[in-house]
Amino acid sequence: MVQTMDKYFNSVYITDSIPKLLPYLKVTFMVVGLSVLFGTLLGFILAVAKIRQGKIAKKFADLYTTALRCTPSIVLLFLVYYGIPAIAKNFGIDLDDVDKVVFIVIAFSLMFAAAMCDVIKTAYESVDKGQFEAAISVGLSDVQAYITIILPQAFVVALPNIGNSLLALIKEGALGYTIGLIDVMGKASLIISGNINAHALEIYIALSIIYWVISIVIEQLFLKFEKVFSKGKQTIKVT
């Protein structure tokens, strides 16, 4: 009789699961934070390669972004997780004891870099080039012109796409459980396994609620950032 009742939807499992899942958000945020940091740095380097029009560097950056856009996230994750240790073994390096978080961060950093490369390039190109020339004409150095005039305006343009890329990364990051990462998604899978797959729907609903709240909070934060930075956009223009 108990087994029969377990098959029915029970909302209590939703409210019971959320407190069990929330502590594992710190792992999710750690992976996302590191991926954003390294991905943004690599994306900036790739964007500079495209903007400066160096033949070899530009071709490499174009090839990189095209390849990453065409590679599903889970495939990239498996390529990194299984590929890097396999290649390292050919050089006598054993990476079997390396924490899987390292490979997950590498995979999602590579993915985020491709997105940020295009975001940075597009934002930079949207700024009127006359602004740079005007800044130089009033006595600013090239570095000062970029830092005080070009980058702030480009940042405002890039904000919406940065927010979208961040939201996409948070959702894609859930794939880390496929190689054994115990983050919020991994914990949900463990709970479902512990229940012998009973009430999986309720637990996934609880997981969805957590992701919905995170997404809404981030979306609203970026909207506020856009309003704040847009107010000062006109003041940093050189006329």
> DSSP assignment of 204-224, as one string?
HHHHHHHHHHHHHHHHHHHHH
Q: Which of 72-81, 126-135, 156-165, 216-225 has the lowest mean pLDDT?
A: 126-135
Into how many domains does the chain fold? 1
Radius of gyration of the chain (CA): 22
Per-residue pLDDT band at 5 (split at 50, 70, 90): very low
In the block, tokens 């980058």 appear at: 151
Higher-pLDDT residue of 153 and 211 is: 211
Integer CA distances (angstroms), 181 to 72, 147, 177, 187, 230, in order = 19, 39, 4, 9, 39
- Assign residue 124 the CATH number of its domain: 1.10.3720.10
Per-range mean pLDDT, top range of 64-78, 135-149, 187-201: 64-78
7-18 residue pLDDT tens: 688 888 899 999
Dihedral sign computed on CA atoms, order 38, 40, 43, 45: negative
Domain that holds residue 143: 5-238
pLDDT at 78: 96
154-170 residue pLDDT tens: 888 899 999 999 999 99
* Integer Cα distance of 62 and 213 in angstroms: 35
Per-residue pLDDT band at 235 (split at 50, 70, 90): low
CA 191 to chain centre: 26
pLDDT at 96: 84
pTM exceeding 0.85: yes
26-72 residue pLDDT tens: 999 999 999 999 999 999 999 999 988 778 999 999 999 999 999 99
